[in-house]
């Protein structure tokens, strides 16, 4: 069974604490891209649950976190009835792990040691072997399905280039085994407007919103009580200029709030651009009044989203997962068998 169309592969790590930075920066762009491009491409929207514990987590919550990803996708508008969009769990296709092991044996220790993300995360404490060779599993995720396009952020570009390197290395040694995904520059050109904005931390707008903020004051989670989120916006860091304008270098806090306001308005169905939002509030000199506007609309967004999340059809999600996982096992196992033959494991 071969994909009927070229493949776009994407996914967001299973995480119960999904915040609005994840939602607007990754999940919603993925859903919109999937709907827009599914006529021309097969969309492999996978839940990378095996990646979920490359760093420490609460394992008692992992299973629900995995399903919560599927719920959030659905609440964000994923059309479960679209046969060109495949929603599946990485761990339910064993070929991911099997191909990763084979690729491990053709990967240099030095290659993995140079990975920036490993060096950054590993320097903060004890790093697991899983974190070390995570890029190899990511390569298997991509190569099993012959994915041509994989939307990646700046922190993943090195891993995508490794995927290209290991695919080309295996092809040179064993013949035409893998489709090599496009290089990073072509990925960015292809996805373009499908890339989401990077929402910044409310307390420290110099860094992106991240669950690593232990205080939680700079993050708005999708599960936050709307009133709590309202207070976080009202306490957001601004500046002493006392003039609302979009200037990311000199006024990162205000600029971040303008971006958030634009995004929640777009989610509510309003056709508004960041430029229009910035122009609407340009020159406003009472930051408290401006923050209240943003806080009110963020609270409304959360209330609406949480209502959509509560209304998702759990049975439809389970049926979609089961159907996609059946189909993806066929595709992945064909690729794995071809590789096993090439390396001498099968005849």
Half-sphere exposure of 183 (CA within 13 A, CB side): 3
Nearest to 224, CA basis, from 17, 1, 26: 17
Q: Coil, helix or strand for 8?
A: strand
Catalytic residue list contains 208:
yes
Nearest to 201, CA basis, from 15, 29, 19: 19
| Alpha helices by DSSP H, the chain | 20-22, 28-37, 62-75, 95-104, 109-113, 116-122, 129-132, 134-143, 157-174, 184-191, 226-234, 252-267, 274-281, 287-310, 314-343
Catalytic residue among 5, 207, 208, 217: 208
Cα 228 to the center of its chain, rounded Å: 25
Catalytic residue list contains 211:
yes
Catalytic residue among 5, 35, 182, 211: 211
Catalytic residue list contains 121:
yes
With beta carbons less than 8 A apart as the criterion, state whether 346 and 337 touch. yes
With beta carbons less than 8 A apart as the criterion, state whether 31 and 65 touch. no
With beta carbons less than 8 A apart as the criterion, state whether 147 and 173 touch. no
Residue 65 DSSP class: H
Separation CA 97–CA 143 (nearest Å)? 12
Catalytic residue among 5, 121, 207, 217: 121
CB atoms within 10 A of CB 98: 18
Separation CA 199–CA 210 (nearest Å)? 9
Residues with a catalytic annotation lie at 121, 208, 211
């Amino acid at each position: 069974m071969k994909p009927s169309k070229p493949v776009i592969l994407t996914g967001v790590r299973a995480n119960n604490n999904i915040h609005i930075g994840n939602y607007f920066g990754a999940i919603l762009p993925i859903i919109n891209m999937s709907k827009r491009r599914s006529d021309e491409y097969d969309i492999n929207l996978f839940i990378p649950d095996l990646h979920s514990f490359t760093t420490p987590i609460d394992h008692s919550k992992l299973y629900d976190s995995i399903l919560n990803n599927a719920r959030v996708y659905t609440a964000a508008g994923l059309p479960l009835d679209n046969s060109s969009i495949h929603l599946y769990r990485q761990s339910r296709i064993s070929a991911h792990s099997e191909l990763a092991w084979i690729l491990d044996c053709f990967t240099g220790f030095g290659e993995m040691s140079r990975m920036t993300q490993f060096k950054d995360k590993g320097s903060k404490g004890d790093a697991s072997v899983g974190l070390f060779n995570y890029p190899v599993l990511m390569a298997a995720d991509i190569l099993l399905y012959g994915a041509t396009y994989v939307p990646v952020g700046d922190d993943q570009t090195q891993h995508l280039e490794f995927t290209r390197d290991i695919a080309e290395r295996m092809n040179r040694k064993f013949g035409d085994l893998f489709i090599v995904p496009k290089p990073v520059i072509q990925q960015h050109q292809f996805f373009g407007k499908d890339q989401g904005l990077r929402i910044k931390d409310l307390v420290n707008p110099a860094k992106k919103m991240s669950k690593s903020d232990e205080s939680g004051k700079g993050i708005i989670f999708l599960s936050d009580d709307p009133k709590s989120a309202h207070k976080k916006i009202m306490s957001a860091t601004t500046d002493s200029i006392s003039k609302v304008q979009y200037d990311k270098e000199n006024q990162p806090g205000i600029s971040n709030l303008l971006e958030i306001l634009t995004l929640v308005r777009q989610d509510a169905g309003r056709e508004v651009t960041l430029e229009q939002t910035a122009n609407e509030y340009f020159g406003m000199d009472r930051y408290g009044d401006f923050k209240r506007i943003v806080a009110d609309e963020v609270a409304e967004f959360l209330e609406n989203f949480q209502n959509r999340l509560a209304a998702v059809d759990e049975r439809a999600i389970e049926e979609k997962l089961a159907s996609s996982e059946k189909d993806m096992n066929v595709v992945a196992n064909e690729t794995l068998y071809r590789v096993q033959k090439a390396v001498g494991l099968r005849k």
